[in-house]
Structure 1
């Protein structure tokens, strides 16, 4: 290998360096410190935080205009409800809205007024 060339399997390094007793070493690109493993208070793995909301990744509303789901007072909710009808996570969405007392928008195919009626029946 000629001078100045790197082997293909050699790690690449950032321009920054760290000092250890006056010696400067390049920081490898794959360097990472896991805050969970370090015990940083409040640090959690993404899966722990997001698992309860994982259904949102499959929600059809995430692929459409959010304004349809949060119409102005007196505005039509028809388009949003039509999208909800064919959404595979409609039940999870409605459950989330009821548990978190969502007061605005269409959730699980129901308006706030409809969710309020549903709560009273329960």
Structure 2
């Protein structure tokens, strides 16, 4: 798995090709960067409650959610929403158009 919350400059080459520094600058201030990816990318069927609690305390949550939606992140908790919740949000946005 690609470490999406690693310090700038340490992201994998594949990820660097698709995301600019400005796109990920918010990650340095995010609470998840201080807690580790295990909470945010749990094993299938595991609880995401702790990740959502951390997201709820994070001032960067809106930028994180915007990033996840814009880049179609399909795994993990981003911006306080699980994969399924982000999928529902995208579907609702499509039907609202």
Please give the range of the TM-score, normalised by the shorter of the 2 chains. 0.7 to 0.9
Which aligned segments of 4 or more residues in structure 1 are displaced greater than 2 angstroms? none
Contact 2:40–2:48 (8 Å) recurs in 1 = yes
Correspondence 1:1-122 to 2 at 5 A: 49-122=20-93
Aligned residues between the structures: 74
SS for the counterpart of 2:24 is helix
TM-score (normalizing by structure 2): 0.73
Larger helix share, 1 or 2:
2
Encode CA deviations 1:61-103: one digit per residue, 9 max, x unaligned: 0000211100111101000000000101100000000011101
Question: Where in structure 2 are there 5+ consecutive unaligned residues?
Answer: 1-19
Question: Where in structure 1 are there 5+ consecutive unaligned residues?
Answer: 1-48
Bigger CA radius of gyration? 1
Does 1 or 2 have the higher relative contact order (CA < 8 Å, sep 6+)? 2
Task: Report what 2:3 is aligned to.
Answer: none
TM-score (normalizing by structure 1): 0.59
Deviation at residue 54 of structure 1 after TM alignment? 1.1
Distance in structure 1 (CA, Å) of the matches to 2:76 and 2:44 = 10
Larger strand share, 1 or 2:
1
CA RMSD of aligned residues (A): 0.8
